[in-house]
Amino acid sequence: MRGKFNLRQLHSSNFQLQRPYNFPKPHLKEKDSHIVKCTKAISTHMRNGHCDLALRVFNSMPIRNSVSYNAMISGYLRNAEFSLARNLFDRMPHKDLFSWNLMLTGYVRNRRLRDARVLFDSMPEKDVVSWNAMLSGYVRSGHADEAREVFDEMPHKNSISWNGLLAAYVRSGRLQEASNLFESKSDWELISWNCLMGGYVRRNMLGEARLLFDRMPIRDVVSWNTMISGYAQDGDLSQARRLFAESPVRDVFTWTAMVYAYVQNGMLDEARTVFDEMPQRIEMSYNTMIAGYVQYKRMDMARKLFEAMPFPNIGSWNIMISCYCQEGDVAQARDLFDGMPEHDSVSWAAIIAGYAQNGHYEEAMNMLVEMKRDGEGLNRSTFCCALSTCADIAALELGKQVHGQVVKTGYENGCLVGNALVGMYCKCGCIDEAYEVFQGIQHKDIVSWNTMLSGYARHGFGRLALTVFEWMITAGVKPDEITMVGVLSACSHNGLTDRGTEYFHSMDKDYGVKPNSKHYTCMIDLLGRAGCLEEAQNLIRNMPFEPDVAIWEALLGASRIHGNMELSEKAAEMVFKMEPNNSATYVLLSNLYAASKRWVDVSKIRLKMREVGVHKTPGYSWVEIHNKIHTFTAGDCLHPEKRRIYAFLEELDLKMKQEGYVPATKLVLHNVEEEEKKHILKYHSEKLAVAFGILTIPAGRPIRVMKSLRICEDCHNAIKHISKIVGRLIIVRDSHRFHHFSEGNCSCGDFW
């Protein structure tokens, strides 16, 4: 035969072999040596991955015994041809115990525990290997209770059995049961001592680990390394140094643990001294030292050591890329990324996150597309990074594409990626889709509940947010600080003053959450929106700590809404003291002065901004159309569809005025004529984005617009009218919350 062999075709009984494997039928006295020779050939071919050649030898044998069958089955399992191994096992005329154990081990290694158990229960006889195989399957899958059942049923146990059950308890974190088992027997092997001690170290139970270490009859280098690294991770430099000095044997991991211990304590020079004294170094040693430099912002030293590495591994490259991204130097990160000999999912996630976190959203999206084109599989970390990037820029269509990939990989119902999906849909204005994903998460953690609760709160659906909170309590999940911020925000955004006040005063007693500055900020906002400015000031006076900028900003916003100029100026003065370069405060105070026609004060504010060197952050809005982000600024004249957009806005303006819309010219900060003020208001960025969305997004689909700053009062009023005129759902996300405009109303109930 020529060409490639089909293994399943070779199994056919009609297959005729050609030379060199067309052996003559041996005489009886030659039979045994012939079988041995063929079995050796089968094993050799299987070791080299040539399953087809092994099968040719097997099919050429006129007489086959269990040894030859077992050689074939073992070879198939070694080469991941599991179905072929099982087919051959089923065809065996006489199965010996070794054959049964082979298949059982195959099931266990492939994590097919249910099939393994069925096979195990059907075995005509079992030995300690059979029992240990079943036990190890449960251990590797984290089923400690099932492992214990097998252990208890075993007629004979050996050291592998005892070690297996101990490992099951340690891996599952059931250290008390592991300890009880350990104390029930005295002749443990060294590997078992190290196993239990490692379990204690991983759970940060260093006292118990040290007691075990001191009791050990003998210790090896693993024992010493486990304790030294445990103290290093805990930051206990003195104990780590003492054990390092006492250790009779040191390998590269011992030295690296000591480098890590110094790094953890911020003693980089001492860490470098130990690093330089190391008899030999591996990539982990270099990476530990580089990570130390990165952690303490000594990028020049990190780069020098990285370039001095004889063979940097992919982890070394990833550390450097991540660190440059965190420093905001995305250009350097990209240069390193492009120079990598190969990328893994961590590399892609690091550079994508770097672009996104530094505001380069388009580049982040391009890299995401490039990663998929490069064939790199998305793992949980990369999925979360991609979804976070989509959420930041509200790239809904791309987010949906990533969601599709998530479904294909089966990560959708997991907590980590599921939470990222909920967050993405919440931030992209798709609260219903967020809730669908939330429902599908099988094991919700506190982040799942908080994300959904906060999502409803930001979208203005406060009562739904509180319903989620009640479900969370019923499910037995204890609220944390973030939960209560979401609850209070929900009450604040929906004018639920009494209910919010009740939650605030009871959250320590009911849930053990002590109010922090964020909770007080929510309460100042809640009281301020309700016009309870005196109560808000009293709350600030009675706070157990000094108010921060956010609290004064909340009071400033509340006093502005209710026209309390004196309180506004007082709050603004406090903000200026804490953050003299906060442009938003200058603008807000200018708004107040302009609304009162205090143009002299407006000029003073502008002069002060120039003196301090503060510039107003220009607002912009964007809308996603056909996977492309369209960005607008106020009075935008660069968009290719500007004439069509402006003409449509003129048409809408006439219809809005017929509906009773009156431009809020008091918001214009310039001392100009009334008509000019109306003209300025007409072309705010969010209005341009909404108009373009109506013109380009098919009827029946929501229009989702994102704004970098807070939506202004005039635009909020105008978009309410527009939603009624065009009969469309318009969703606007500003810097604080979402607004769902429909039929002339907003989900915020004008508590914005």
pLDDT in tens, 130-147: 888 888 888 887 788 888
Closest CA to 353 of 420, 446, 269, 271: 420
Residue matched to tokens 């030995």: 127
Closest CA to 183 of 166, 159, 206: 166
Which residues of the chain carry a pLDDT beneath 70?
1-32, 34, 375-378, 595, 614, 616, 664-681, 751-752
Q: Are 526 and 555 in contact (CB under 8 A)?
A: no
Closest CA to 4 of 68, 74, 69, 53: 53
The three-point CA angle 413-414-415 to 5° equals 120
Give me Rg for the CA atoms of the chain: 35
How far from 263 is each of 252, 283, 292, CA to CA, in Å? 17, 16, 5
pLDDT score at 210: 92
Length of the chain measured in residues: 752
Which phi-psi region, left, alpha or beta, contains residue 359 (left: φ > 0; alpha: ψ -120 to 50)? Answer: left
Residue matched to tokens 């240069």: 335
Work out whether the CA dihedral 164, 167, 169, 171 comes out positive or negative.
negative
pLDDT score at 74: 80
Element (H, E) at 575: helix 565-578
Phi, psi dihedrals of residue 63, rounded to the nearest 5°: -130, 130
pLDDT score at 9: 38
pLDDT score at 752: 58
- 566-587 residues labelled b (16+ CB within 10 A) or e (exposed): ebbeebbebbbeeeeebebbbb
Tally of CA atoms within 13 A in the half-sphere of 45 that contains its CB: 20
Closest CA to 314 of 350, 277, 366, 361: 350
Dihedral, CA of residue 640, residue 643, residue 649 and residue 653, to nearest 10: 160
pLDDT score at 665: 58
Q: Are 233 and 262 in contact (CB under 8 A)?
A: no
How far from 277 is each of 289, 294, 301, 497, CA to CA, in Å? 13, 21, 18, 65
pLDDT score at 517: 92
Cα separation, 649 vs 599, in Å, equals 30
Closest CA to 5 of 80, 59, 61: 59
Cα separation, 402 vs 425, in Å, equals 12
pLDDT score at 467: 95
Cα separation, 230 vs 61, in Å, equals 58
Cα separation, 731 vs 740, in Å, equals 5
Instruction: Name the residue type at position 263.
Output: V
Cis peptide before 20 (omega within 30 of 0): yes
Which pairing describes strands 620-625 and 628-633: parallel, antiparallel, or unpaired? antiparallel
How far from 39 is each of 48, 66, 83, 100, CA to CA, in Å? 14, 10, 21, 19
Classified as helix, coil or strand, 232 is helix
Cα separation, 248 vs 372, in Å, equals 51
3-state SS track over 297-336: CCHHHHHHHHHHCCCCCHHHHHHHHHHHHHCCCHHHHHHH
The three-point CA angle 467-550-617 to 5° equals 110
Partners of 703 in the β-ladder:
730
Which pairing describes strands 730-733 and 703-707: parallel, antiparallel, or unpaired? parallel
pLDDT score at 679: 52
**Structure-block tokens of residue 416:** 């980590």
pTM given for the model: 0.61
